[in-house]
Structure 1
Amino acid sequence: MFTQFKSYIKGHESVPGEAKLLRKIDTFILSFCCLCYFTNYLDRSNLSNAYVSGMKEELNFKGNELSLINTVFTVGYIVGQLPSNLALTYLRPHLFFPAMVIIWGSLTMITAAVHNPQGIMAIRFFLGLAESSTFVGTHYILGAWYTEKELGKRSGIFTASGLAGTMFGGFIQTGIQSSLDGVHGLSGWRWLFIIDGLITIPIAIYGFLLFPDTPTTTKAPYLTSEERAMAIARIPESGSVKVPLNLTFAKRIFTSWHWYGFVILWIIAGETESFSSNALLALYMKAQPAKTYTISQLNNYPTGVAAVGIVSTLFWATLTDFMGGKRYLVGYFIAITGIVTSTMILTRYEDKAVVFGAYYWAGAVYACQATFFAWCNDVLRFQDDRFRSVVIASMNMGSNAVNAWWLLLFYSANFAPRFTKGMWAMIGCSIALALWTTGIILMTAREEKNRDDQELRVGDLDTKIIEETAREV
C-alpha cells in the first residue's frame, strides 16, 4: 500500500481530471477556512488595537490587566483544542465549523457592551473555546485532502489569511475611529467589535452550504462521483480508518515519538512568535517616554510585522513544496532570525530604526505555522485520522499552554518598552529550535527507512508466493 501510494504521488500531476478537482477543493476549502482564520485574527488583534485606541482609558485598565485577558483567552483556546479536533472525526465539518463561527461572532459583538476589564475577561474565555476549532481543525482538513507536494502552499495561504487579519485590523480600527467614533454615543473601539461580529454571519452561511467535509464523507454537490473517488485514492488507506477512543488509543498516543516530537517542536516554535503574536511593537510604541505616537501610528505601524510574516510564510511554504517537503529548513531559518533580531534589540536599543527593523524582521518567524503543521501532516500521513487529529491538536494546545504563562513572565505589558528578559528567552528558544528540528529529521528518516524495508519484505514475500504457485501449476 505504501509503495502504491508513493507511485501515485510521484505521477499524480498527470492524472486526468485531478487539476480540476484541485481547483474545486481549493476554491471551497481554502476560501472558507481562510475567511474563518482572517476573522479569528481580526478579533484577537483588535483587542490590542482597541486597547491603544481609547479602551484602556474608558474602561480604566490597570497594571497587566490586558495581559491577563489575553491569558484567559488562551486558557479557553487551550481547553477547546482537543475536543474540537476530535469532534471533526465524529461530526460533519460543514456543520461544526459554521456553528463555531456563529458563536464567536456573537461573543465578539457582545464585547461592545462591556463596562470593565473583568467583563472582557469572561467573554474572551468563551471566545477562545469557540475559536479553538479553526486553526487545528483546518490543518486536520488540509491533511485529509492534499498530498505532500500540495500541502505546504495551502497551509501557507491559510496562515497568511490570519496574518492579513492582524495587518488589516489596524487599518480597520483607524477607519472606524475616524468615521464612527461617537456615533449613537458609542466609542470607535466598541463599533470595531460590532462590525467584526457582523462579518462572521455570511461566512457561517457559506460554510454550511458549500464546505466539502473530508474525502470519505463529502457530499458536496460540485464534486462528481469520479472526483470523490479520486480524492479518496489520493490519500493512504490508513488515513480513513476510524479507531475507537479507549485506553489502547491513549497508550498509543503517549508512547509514540510523533506526539512528543511535534508537540515540543511547536511549543518551542510557538514561543519564537512571541515578538509578533503578543503585539510587542505596539506596546513598545505605546510605552515610549520621549515620544508620543498618534492612534493612527499605533494602529498602522505594527501592520508591517504581519506583512513580513505573510511574505515569509508564502515563500517558505511554496519553497518547501517545490523541494519535496523539506519543511525542516524553516526551523533553521527561524532559529537564526530569532537570535539575530533579539541581539539587535538588546545591543542597539537606543537606535529606534534598528529596533523597528528587528521587530519587522522578527515577523518572518510566522513561517513556522504553515510549514511545521504541514510537516506533521506529512509524517503522519500513514497514521489513522484520529491519531493525526490528536497530535495536531496537542501541538497547538501545548504551545498555547506554555504561552499562557510565558507572556506574563517575559512579555507582560508592564515590561514595555525594553522586554529585556523576553529577548534572552527568544535567543534560548531559537537555539532549542535548531536542536529539536535536527532530532525530528533523524527520527523521520529512520521511520521512512523502516517503512521502506517493511514494504520491500512484503514485496519479496509476495513474489516468492507467486513463484511457488507458478511452479505448482
Structure 2
Amino acid sequence: MGLLTPIRTAVWGAPAATKAERTLIRKIDVFILTSCCLQYWVNYLDRSNLNSAYVSGMKEDLNMGGDDLNVINTIFWCGYFVGQIPNNIAMQYIRPRYWMTFCMLSWGLLTLGTGFVHSKEAIMGIRFAQSLFEGSTFTGTHYLLGSWYKDEELGKRTGIFTSSGLAGTFFSGLLQGSIYDSLNGKTGLAGWRWMFVIDFLITIPIGVFVYIFFPDTPETTKAFYLTQDEKKLAVTRLDNHSANHGHGEIDTTVFKRIFGSWEVYGFCFIWTMGSNCEMFSSNAILSLYLKWTGDYSVELVNYMPMAVSAVGIVCTLVLGWYSDFTRRSWHVGVLTSCTAIITGAIMLSPPNDAARMFALYLNGIQYSNQTVMFAWANRLTLDDAPKRSIILAAMNTVAVIFYSFWSISFYAADQAPKWTRGSIAMIVSGSCMMIGVFVVRYLEAKTAKNHTLGQAMEGIETSYSLEKGDNKGAAETAVQDVE
C-alpha cells in the first residue's frame, strides 16, 4: 500500500485525514458521482441521437435539407437557454432528486415521441420541450458536485462527469450504427426511429436509479445509506463552504452579489468563447462531411466520428486532473485556445483530406473546456451557494444564446465541405477566449491578494483590540486595589 499511495495521491488526490471522512467520500463517489454521470450520459445520448439519425435516414424520410438540421438544433438551444436558470433555482427549493428525476422522465418520453414523427416541424416542437427539461442537467450537476466536494476534490470528479456526457455521444454513434445494421425495417420502423425507442428504454431505469440514490445536498440529505454522523460530517468538512449564504437562501441581495462581482462576467465570457470553440465537434461536422462525400456507408458515417468523442474523453480526464493537481486552470484555457486557432487555420485552407480530418479530430480537445472552466468557477464561488448556482447557470445560458445563431450562421449543413465562415469564427473565438482567460487569471490573483491582505489587517485589528482590552482590565484592577 505504501508504494501505491504516491500514485493514488497524484491521480486521485490525498486521502482524507480520518477513516470517517474516507468512508463518506467513498459513499459520495459511489452514489452521487454515479448518479450524475449516468444522468449526463443519457442526457447526451438523447441529445446527440438527432445528429446520428440525420445521417442514418431521417434526412431522406422527412424530406429535410439545407439548414433544417441546424434550425432544429437552434430551437433546441433556445429551449435550453430558457430552462437553465429556472431549473437551478428550482433545485434551491425542491429536492434535487425529485426535480432531476421528473426532468429525466419528461425528456425520456419526448425522446420516445421523436421516433414516431412524420415531419420536421414536429421534431422542432418536441426538441424545444425536451431542451427545457434537459437544461436541468449540466449546470445543475455542477452546482450539486460543488455542494458535496472540497475544492481539491472537485476537478477530478468534474472531469469524470463531463466525460460521461462525451461517452453518451460516443455511444450514440455506436448505437445508431448497430441499430441500422440489425433493426432497420423491423416491425415497419426505420433504423433511425428504433434508436429513439431504445434511448427511451435506457433513460427510464436511470431516472429510477437517480430517484432512489441521489442524496440531494449536504444540508437537506435524507439518504438512507448515510449515517447521522456522516450527514453532519458532509456539512462540516467543507470548511467555510457556503458559510456566507447556504442552500435555499435566495433573497434580494443575491443579484447584487452576482452582478456586482467580476466572476459572472469573466466566466460567462470565457465559457461562451470556449463553447464556440467546440462547434466543429458539437455540430457533427465530421459526420456531415463524411455523408457529403458519399464514399462511406451509413455504419461508417456513425462509427468514424466516435474518435472525436474519444479524444474529448481522454483530454477531459487528463486536463481536468492537471487543473485539479496544479490549481492552474488558466493553463488549460490557453492550451484549448491555441488548438482552436490551429483547427480553424487548417480548416480554412486544408491542403488535403487528411489535414481536414486531422483538424476535425483535433477539435475534440475543446470538450475539456467544460470540465476546467466550470470547476474553476465553482472553486471561486464556494462560499455562496445561491450565487454559485446562478453563475454556473448563467455561464451556460449566455453560451447557449450564441448557440442559437452561431450554428446556423457558421456551421450550417449546406456549407459543406469547407465551412469557411466557421473556420474564421473558430479562429476569432479561440483568440477571444485566450484574452478572457488571462483577464480572469489576473482578477483571480488580485482577489486572492486582497483577501489575504484583508485577513492580515483583521488579525492585526483583533490583536490590537485584545491588547487594548487587557490594558484596560489591568488598569481597572489597579483602581479597585487602591480603593
Contact 2:24 2:230 in 1 (8 A): yes
1:466 corresponds to which residue?
466
SS in 1 for 2:216: coil
Q: Deviations over 1:21-54 (max 9, x none)?
A: 1111111111111111111111122101111111
Selected match of 1:257 from 255, 258, 262? 262
1:224 aligns with 2:227: yes
* Residue correspondence of structure 1 range 6-17 to structure 2 within 5 A: 13-17=16-20
1:377 corresponds to which residue?
378
Query: Under a length normalisation based on structure 1, what TM-score does the superposition of the two structures give?
Result: 0.94
* Residue correspondence of structure 1 range 109-258 to structure 2 within 5 A: 109-235=112-238, 236=240, 237-240=243-246, 242-246=248-252, 248-258=253-263
> How many positions carry a matched residue from both structures?
458
SS in 1 for 2:224: coil
Q: Which amino acid aligns with 2:364?
A: G
Partner Cα distance (2:128, 2:202) in 1: 21
1:361–1:424 distance in 2 versus 1, CA, 3 Å: same
1:15–1:459 distance in 2 versus 1, CA, 3 Å: farther
Bigger Rg, which one: 2
* Shift of residue 334, structure 1, vs aligned partner: 0.6
2:369 corresponds to which residue?
368
Q: Deviations over 1:134-175 (max 9, x none)?
A: 000000001111112111111100010000010111110111
Selected match of 2:80 from 77, 81, 85? 77
2:401 corresponds to which residue?
401
Query: Under a length normalisation based on structure 2, what TM-score does the superposition of the two structures give?
Result: 0.92
1:333 corresponds to which residue?
335
Partner Cα distance (2:337, 2:114) in 1: 38
Q: Deviations over 1:331-355 (max 9, x none)?
A: 1001110111222222324x11111
1:390 aligns with 2:396: no
Partner Cα distance (1:334, 1:138) in 2: 23
* Residue correspondence of structure 1 range 287-326 to structure 2 within 5 A: 287-288=292-293, 291-323=294-326, 325-326=327-328
Contact 1:273 1:366 in 2 (8 A): yes
Partner Cα distance (1:220, 1:306) in 2: 34
2:424 corresponds to which residue?
424
SS in 1 for 2:118: coil
Q: Which amino acid aligns with 1:381?
A: L
1:354 corresponds to which residue?
355
* Shift of residue 210, structure 1, vs aligned partner: 1.1
1:105–1:242 distance in 2 versus 1, CA, 3 Å: closer
Q: What's the Cα RMSD here?
A: 1.5
- Which runs of 4 or more aligned residues in structure 1 lie more than 4 Å from their structure 2 counterparts after TM superposition? none
1:244–1:163 distance in 2 versus 1, CA, 3 Å: closer
Partner Cα distance (1:392, 1:241) in 2: 15
Q: Deviations over 1:378-422 (max 9, x none)?
A: 11112x211111100000000011111001110011111110110
* Shift of residue 456, structure 1, vs aligned partner: 1.8
Q: Deviations over 1:175-223 (max 9, x none)?
A: 1111111111111111100110111111111111110111111111111
Partner Cα distance (1:456, 1:217) in 2: 35
Partner Cα distance (1:433, 1:124) in 2: 30
Partner Cα distance (2:364, 2:291) in 1: 19
Selected match of 1:98 from 98, 101, 104? 101
Partner Cα distance (1:454, 1:125) in 2: 48
Q: Percent identity?
A: 43
Contact 1:37 1:161 in 2 (8 A): yes
Contact 1:30 1:158 in 2 (8 A): yes
Q: Which amino acid aligns with 1:115?
A: H
Q: Deviations over 1:244-275 (max 9, x none)?
A: 343x4334322321111111111111100101
Q: Which amino acid aligns with 1:244?
A: I
* Shift of residue 241, structure 1, vs aligned partner: 5.6
1:160–1:403 distance in 2 versus 1, CA, 3 Å: same
Contact 1:239 1:381 in 2 (8 A): no
* Shift of residue 12, structure 1, vs aligned partner: 8.0
Unaligned runs of 5+ in 2: 1-12, 475-483
Q: Which moved more, 1:279-288 or 1:112-121?
A: 279-288
* Shift of residue 321, structure 1, vs aligned partner: 1.2
Q: Which amino acid aligns with 2:285?
A: L
* Shift of residue 292, structure 1, vs aligned partner: 2.1
Q: Deviations over 1:87-135 (max 9, x none)?
A: 1111111111111000000000011110010010100000000100000
Partner Cα distance (1:467, 1:217) in 2: 42
Contact 1:284 1:418 in 2 (8 A): no
* Shift of residue 231, structure 1, vs aligned partner: 1.4
* Shift of residue 426, structure 1, vs aligned partner: 0.5
2:289 corresponds to which residue?
284
Q: Which amino acid aligns with 2:414?
A: N
